[in-house]
Amino acid sequence: MFDDTNSKAMYDRACTSLAMGVATGFRRAVTPVPLYYERADGPYYYDVDGHELLDYTLAWGPLILGSNHPALNRAVTEQVARSYTLGAQHAGEFELAELMVEVLPGVDQVILSNTGSEAVQAALRIARAFTGRNRFVKFEGHYHGWFNNVLVSCHPDENEMGRPAASCGGQPGHEFEDTLVVPWNDLPALEKAFADHPDRIACVLAEPILANCGSCMPVDGFLEGIIELCQEHGALSIFDEVITGFRLALGGAREYFGLTPDLSTYAKALAGGFSMSAVGGRRELFDVLRDGRTIHAGTYNGNSIGVAAATATISTLREPGLYDRMHRHGHTIRETIEKAATDRGHRIVTSGAGTVFSVHWGVDAAPSNYAETLRADHETYRKFRAAMLERGIQLLPDARWYVGAVHGDAELEKTVAAVQESMKEI
Ligand SMILES: Cc1ncc(COP(=O)(O)O)c(C=O)c1O
């Protein structure tokens, strides 16, 4: 049995003063108890019960370089001695912007903020100010942060599907009355939304791979279809690249799929574990900020530490061949899971890319939308995850895996063996 005695004690103590015991609602889903850690190094986390755990959560995405990375440490510690945050300008801001413009295809300019949720709100506001329209389309199952206008139909139950539904309490309907919801990979449904709301839709917001829900890939032509329909109807296309940015490729989904939406949002892997986000896109779209049609603000925008971390992270990720290596690592794990499961008579498929993917138990085909992800057997995955933890490998509770530059051959060997052994136990 995995010993979590000290984690349990800490969780109990945390629950008396920290409202949820954890700092983010989603972390409560970690079973049997949220673990507590002393430190992390490279791809390993060290918990308070003495375990060394090989990590494929990457802190839900950001730790693409792992922890305690020399280049990132150097950049941040050198910056700490110069300034934390200035509430004013410094060269680091435009140097980071120049770097992002260089590596992100079709991005002429960026704005900086601190979290993915903020970047999404900034992109929506730009789209609304630019088009003079209020409504926008999102897709069922897609997560774009925790604010009321986008936390809509993220995990709807069967009665809530097919219409915009609040994803938690405290979300008054009027705060998402301009949010239209369409099933992922359903171009006719998107066409219908445009037909039903002529000249009213400011933008279409999408995770280019539905990483937050089963890593559902876009079917052929779907992303192109979004961009074309937006162009046809005078709306903006927005890729929410908070997960896919700097993860699918250095240039994110734009590079990976060879597509240029109007705007993209970035966070997570952008700064390797430090708080930093951005919106990038065509220059003219940012006119709305320059000419005062709307504003973008934030006390910590462009803070020195986040900027230094982002610049060091992107510079490190430029190493030739790095993304191929990361994808290969992930694909080897996917193939191992599929083969080990099939050999033991399980039905299993994996979906997504090499650097972010999901495992679906008890189904024969990769899901193509939110509704199809509901068919998977989550209970068996829970057992598999527990068996992996017993073998010193930690995974996210939602069957999603993150692979980073920090995962090397030694980690792959360990993971392949653990997958094969864990499968025998299920
Ligand atoms: C696609 C996507 N957009 C936005 C967000 C919100 O980012 P943050 O948690 O940094 O506010 C997330 C977070 O997981 C995300 O996955």
Q: 74 and 63, same structural domain?
A: no
Question: In which order are the strands placed within the sheet that holds 37-41?
Answer: 37-41, 44-47, 52-55, 393-394
| Cα 106 to Cα 104: distance, rounded to the nearest angstrom | 6
What's residue 402's pLDDT? Answer: 98
Where does a domain end: 317, 341, 362?
A: 317
- CB of 303 shorter than 6 A to ligand 1: no
For ligand 1, the distance from its centroid to the CA atom of residue 146, given in whole angstroms, is: 8
Pocket test for ligand 1, best of 242, 243, 246 (most atoms within 8 A of CB): 242
Six token digits for residue 409: 């051959």
Name the residue of 112, 268, 300, 396 to mutate for ligand 1: max ligand atoms within 8 A of Cβ. Answer: 268
The residue from 260, 291, 317 where one domain ends is: 317
Asked whether 104 and 252 are in contact (CB, 8 A), the reply is yes
Can you give the pLDDT at residue 29? 75
Q: Do 253 and 364 lie in a common domain?
A: no
The CB of 279 under 6 Å from ligand 1? The reply is no
Q: Among 144, 152, 247, which residue has the most ligand 1 atoms within 8 Å of its CB, making it the best to mutate?
A: 144
Q: Which residue has its alpha carbon closest to ligand 1 atom 14?
A: 145
In short, whether 115's Cβ falls inside 6 Å of ligand 1 is yes
Q: pLDDT tens track of the chain, all 426 residues?
A: 899 999 999 999 999 999 999 998 888 877 778 999 999 999 999 999 999 999 999 999 999 999 999 999 999 999 999 999 999 999 999 999 999 999 999 999 999 999 999 999 999 999 999 999 999 999 999 999 999 999 999 999 989 998 999 999 999 999 999 999 999 999 999 999 999 999 999 999 999 999 999 999 999 999 999 999 999 999 999 999 999 999 999 999 999 999 999 999 999 999 999 999 999 999 999 999 999 999 999 999 999 999 999 999 999 999 999 999 999 999 999 999 999 999 999 999 999 999 999 999 999 999 999 999 999 999 999 999 999 999 999 999 999 999 999 999 999 999 999 999 999 998
Q: Which atom of ligand 1 is nearest to the CA of 241?
A: 1
The answer to whether residues 286 and 325 belong to one domain is: no
Q: Beta-carbon neighbour count of residue 281 at 10 Å?
A: 27
Residue 211 identity: A
Closest atom of ligand 1 to 275 CA is 10
For ligand 1, say whether the CB of 138 is within 6 Å of any of its atoms.
no
Instruction: Using alpha carbons, select from 340, 325, 350, 304 the residue that is nearest to residue 416.
Output: 340
Q: Does the beta carbon of 144 lie inside 6 Å of ligand 1?
A: yes
CATH number for the domain that contains residue 359: 3.90.1150.10
Co-location of 64 and 154 in the same domain: no
Number of the ligand 1 atom closest to the C-alpha atom of 277: 10
CB of 181 shorter than 6 A to ligand 1: no
Same domain (yes/no): 88, 193 = yes
Q: Do 64 and 76 belong to one domain? A: no
Dig out the tokens for 292 from the structure. Answer: 């005062």
Q: Which atom of ligand 1 is the closest one to the Cα of 142?
A: 1
In short, whether 242's Cβ falls inside 6 Å of ligand 1 is: yes
Shared domain for 61 and 76, answered yes or no, is no
Distance 327 CA to ligand 1 centre (A): 22
In three-state form (DSSP H/G/I as H, E/B as E, the rest C), the secondary structure along the chain is: CCCCHHHHHHHHHHHHHCCCCCCCHHHHHCCCCCCCEEEEEECEEEECCCCEEEECCHHHCCCCCCECCHHHHHHHHHHHHHCCCCCCCCHHHHHHHHHHHHHCCCCCEEEEECCHHHHHHHHHHHHHHHHCCCEEEEECCCCCCCCCCCCECCCCCCCCCCCCCECCCCCCHHHHCCEEEECCCCHHHHHHHHHHCCCCEEEEEECCCECCCCCECCCCCHHHHHHHHHHHHCCEEEEECCCCCCCCCCCHHHHHHCCCCCEEEECHHHHECECCEEEEECHHHHHHHHCCCCCCCCCCCCCHHHHHHHHHHHHHHCCCCHHHHHHHHHHHHHHHHHHHHHHCCCCEEEEECCCEEEEEECCCCCCCCHHHHCCCCHHHHHHHHHHHHHCCEECCCCCEEECCCCCCHHHHHHHHHHHHHHHHHC
- Specify whether 64 is located in the same domain as 147: no
C-beta of 241 in contact with ligand 1 (< 6 A): no
The pLDDT, as a whole number, for residue 26 is: 82
- Whether 243 is in the pocket of ligand 1, judged by its Cβ within 6 Å, is yes
Yes or no: say if 178 and 168 are a contact pair by the CB < 8 Å rule. no
| Structural domain ending residue among the three candidates 317, 339, 369 | 317
- Ligand 1: does its nearest atom lie under 6 Å from the Cβ of 117? yes
Query: What is the total count of domains within the chain?
Result: 2
Do 395 and 59 touch, CB atoms closer than 8 A?
no
114 lines ligand 1 (CB under 6 A): no
Q: Is 418 in the pocket of ligand 1 (CB under 6 A)?
A: no
Q: Are residues 189 and 330 in the same domain?
A: no
Pocket perturbation via mutation, ligand 1, pick of 120, 124, 138, 205 by most ligand atoms within 8 A of CB: 120
* CATH value at residue 300: 3.40.640.10
136 shares its domain with 246: yes
CB of 143 sitting under 6 A from ligand 1: yes
Decide: 212 in ligand 1 pocket, CB within 6 A: yes
Q: What is the pLDDT of residue 398?
A: 94
Domain that holds residue 33: 5-68+320-425
Are both 24 and 94 inside the same structural domain?
no
Residues 182 and 236 both lie in one domain: yes
Q: What is the pLDDT of residue 1?
A: 87
